[in-house]
Structure 1
């Protein structure tokens, strides 16, 4: 991977749908040369995929929160707690973490009442701490 590949990646991070022609003008290569480099980065696993960015407020999401969870000792022996939480519709990500907490969940909620309902639902797995996201 060279400096041009890094510039291409930087542009794709900003807009994954940017045309190869536009990227090529910026870095001084032809569109086919950009396409070849992008395909090579995909084949090498450097580019793993492309994501969709959604305006959640327009979909009625008013509350976003990070929730850390200390899983109850008796639940720790139960396989799949993380997968069950990850499968909940509100959960955007669910990561195992180090420290006193076991999981860190990013959740999107219609409102605070919906958040409270979610916290009650995951309460069967452990004790949670919630930080509401004020601004991204």
Structure 2
């Protein structure tokens, strides 16, 4: 990662969980992007037309629509806002397909999503941003 904040703030190794790596089943590449694994892999395996998200108003986002939206947001994050892997990006808004799309886009950008409740107060947000050293924010305008 370009931004090593999260790695630098891991707990001491003696507090880490015991990793059982002798099982041949879990094989991971040197670099793993959960945005790609969760979204792109699903589109590849199941197709873009399957329903992915349902909104409170009855709207449905297909996996293809979700991937297109996520890729656009990730592009803005990396190319326009200069987000680099390891940066922390605050996400604030109601629980909607847009918030899910922003979360996946942050993952695809290699950043860390710091998701907060839409009801978070200014003082709470300031504390969270200070502790996490948030560099960018995506907020719902409501």
The interval holding the TM-score normalised by the smaller chain is: under 0.3
TM-score (norm 1): 0.25
The structure having more radius of gyration, on CA atoms, is 1
Structure 1 or 2: larger strand share? Answer: 1
TM-score (norm 2): 0.25
